[in-house]
Structure 1
Amino acid sequence: MKAKKKAWIVIIVLAVIGFCVGFYFGYKGEKDKQEQTNTQTRTQEKEIRAQGEMKDGELVDYTKNNMLELGKYKGRTVTVTPTETEVYQAILLEAEDWKKKVADGERVEKGDWISLDYEGYVDDQPSDDLSESGAVIQVGAGNLFNAAFERGLMGLKLGETYNLNVTFAEDDADPDVAGKTITFSVEVNAKFNDAYAKKMSKNKYPNVKAYYEYAKAKEEKENREGIGDTVWEDLLKECNVKKYPEGSRKQAYKDQKRSYQVFAKVSGQSYEEFIGALGQTDEDIQSSADDQVKARMTAKTIAIKEGLTLSDADYERFLLAFLEPEEEEDKTLKAMEKRYLEEQSCYPRDDMLIELVKEYLGKNSKMK
Structure 2
Amino acid sequence: MKVNKEEIGENKVKLEVEIEEERVEDALDEAYKKVVKKVDIDGFRKGKVPRTLLEKRYGEEVLHKDALDILIQQGYYEAVQEADIEPIDQPEITDAHIQGGEPATFTAEVEVKPDVELGNYTELEVEPEEVTVEAEDIEQELEAKRQEHAQLVGVDREVVEEGDFVTIDYEGYVDGETFEGGSAEDYNLEIGSESFVPGFEEQLTGVEVGAETTVEITFPENYQSDDLAGEDAEFEVKVKDIKRKEVPELDDEFAKDLGFETLDELKSDIEEDLAAEAEEKADRAYENQLVEAAVENAEVDVPEVMVEEEIDNMLEGQKMQMQQQGFDFDEYLEMTGMDEEALRDNFRGQAAERTKSNLVLEAIAEEEGIEVTEEEIDEKVEEIAKNQGQDQDPEQIKAFLQMQGQLDQLKDGLQMEKTMEFLKDNN
Between Structure 1 and Structure 2, which shows a larger proportion of helix residues? Answer: 1
**Structure ranking higher in strand proportion:** 2
Higher relative contact order (CA 8 A, sep 6+): 1
State the TM-score bracket (shorter-chain normalisation). Answer: 0.3 to 0.5
Q: TM-score with structure 1 length normalisation?
A: 0.45
TM-score, length basis structure 2: 0.40
